[in-house]
A and B are shown apart, each in its own frame.
Chain A
Amino acid sequence: MHLYEVLRRPLITEKATSLKEKDKYAFEVAGKATESQIKEAVELAFKVKVSKVNVMTVPGKTRKFGRRQVTSSPWKKAIVTLAPGNKITFFEGV
């Protein structure tokens, strides 16, 4: 997998925003991406130094859609810890 395909999007949520204080950033990543690939991808994309990556699979959720049960797809979330002194700003200057 090419490094450009690893990161899907940053997660901008209440929880992710509060994690920024600890230099941690959350991303939605490709399902088959590994921790080391994510590290490389973030370093390449944001020109920062990554000290740690944690990943987890967020299970798909079932919802009732009319009379049908529908399951949304599971996806992979990565929490990236940066080395002290590094920073990422998403969507700067809007």
Chain B
Amino acid sequence: MKVSTENLENCQIALNIEAEASELDKSLDEAYHHLVNEVSIPGFRKGKAPRAILVQHIGKKNLLDEALEHLIPQLYKQAIESQELKPIAGPQIEITQREPVIFKAIVSLKPEVKLGDYHSIRLEPTPAIEVSEEKVNAAMEEFRKRQGAWVPVDRPVELGDLVTMDIQANVDGKPWLNHKDILYEMDKDSRSPVPGFASQLQGTEKNKERTFSLIIPDDYPIKEMRGKEGTFKVTVTEIKAKQLPELNDELAKNAGYGNLEDMRTKVAADLRVKAEARNRLELKQKALDALVEISEVNYPPILEDEEITELLRNEAQRLGFREITDYLKKANKTEEEIKQELRPIAKKRLTESLVLGKLAEEEKIEISSTEVDNKVDEITSDAEDKEKAKQFFSLPQIKQSIEQSLRTQKTMDQLLQIASGNAENITKGE
């Protein structure tokens, strides 16, 4: 075996491997012994045909193919060992010549991550969160609206009402809708059944038939109806308006708060917590972006492809498709298109995770098994069937993924510490 190497970009190495004649002969012989037991040739019992007859029967090429199928992985393995390479994925093999056998194997190596001077990352501390009076008021108002009840009223229809109506609609002279007693919320921006319908209905009196027509706009979902005139015959049978409850202690009590004042403070606190969480998330992303910015990451393209596949599978699963192909059919896109779309996201995720992994290494962030166990306890504590949940979480791969996510979290926290300038103080203190 002769091997020559060639460094490629992105952590890849190309091996040019040439097989010796003796190696090929041995492999051909093995291939014959293997194939002769599988091929039935008329006039011979299985496994009894001589090599010449077998070659006549199946052709020289097939025998060679079979031989190469075993020879190539074997030679590849030898080459890897002799060159002391540590591939992270299977090689891409390209056969350049058959006689003598020469092939090229592209080997993906571990990604290289060079972190920049991450100790110098400084982020502007986010401004202190202020929960303004207006925000609290808006939240209270929102709550009040949710508590509102529909009450029948005796007046013509207004926007914001809930009406019960009978409707008959024709488009271009042909019947389209015919419903009795359907509920309709008078939302000005509603696009159902056609945009502008609610405004037309405004002012209609109870139990009086009303006819009007609308031109269906050009961006309507049903193609055939675009640009045509629709006539609507509507009879409103009931009109209800939303009656908002008074914002007082009683309402607060019903919602589980002590009194109105108590409710205000709690709502404000709630808003603050949410805003803080959002701020923290933003800060984390900023820190991560900064870290990625100053770092150099090199990885073989195969990792990117794997990430894309993973993303695609998650996406399909999230939308409730069992097979990726079903999802593609539904989205009406080819696999290529969707992969192209996901590529930038995959790139970002991959670089981030590689950089974080490296950072964890540099900062010597370790996760002990007790930490994992604590996390498991925390997750399982509100499970219905505790035994079953425990069993599930004791699977090694689940534990590993928990450990992984804990490490990411811890690393992230450490990065935030560094970025906000607190890290030195801690190390000095030790």
Chain A residues with CB under 8 Å of chain B are 11-14, 16-17, 91, 94
Contact = CB atoms under 8 A, between A and B. Distances in A.
B56 A91 contact: yes
A14 B56 contact: no
Contacts of A16: 43
A13 B56 contact: no
Contacts of A14: 43-45, 48-49
B56 A94 contact: yes
A81 B44 CA distance: 22
Interface string B38-52: 000001110011100
Contacts of A12: 43, 53
A36 B412 CA distance: 97
A94 B44 CA distance: 19
Contact of B43 (A13, A91, A94): A13
Interface residues of B, number: 10
A11 B53 CA distance: 12
A12 B56 CA distance: 11
Interface in B26-46: 43-45
Contacts, number: 18
Q: Specify the main secondary structure of chain B where it touches its partner.
A: loop
Interface of B: 43-45, 48-50, 53, 55-56, 59
Nearest to B41: A12
Nearest to A13: B43
Contacts of B53: 12, 17
Contacts of A91: 56
A69 B44 CA distance: 27
A20 to B, nearest CB: 10
5 contacts: A14-B44, A17-B53, A91-B56, A94-B55, A94-B56
Nearest to B57: A94
Contacts of B59: 94
Contacts of B48: 14
Nearest to A91: B56
Nearest to A17: B50
A13 B49 CA distance: 8
Contacts of B43: 11-14, 16
A17 B56 CA distance: 14
A13 B48 CA distance: 10
A17 B41 CA distance: 13
Most buried by B among A11, A16, A91, A94: A94
B140 to A, nearest CB: 90
A17 B45 CA distance: 12
A56 B43 CA distance: 18
A16 B53 CA distance: 12
B368 to A, nearest CB: 69
A70 B310 CA distance: 62
Nearest to A14: B44
B64 to A, nearest CB: 14
Contacts of A11: 43
A91 B52 CA distance: 10
A10 B390 CA distance: 73
A77 to B, nearest CB: 13
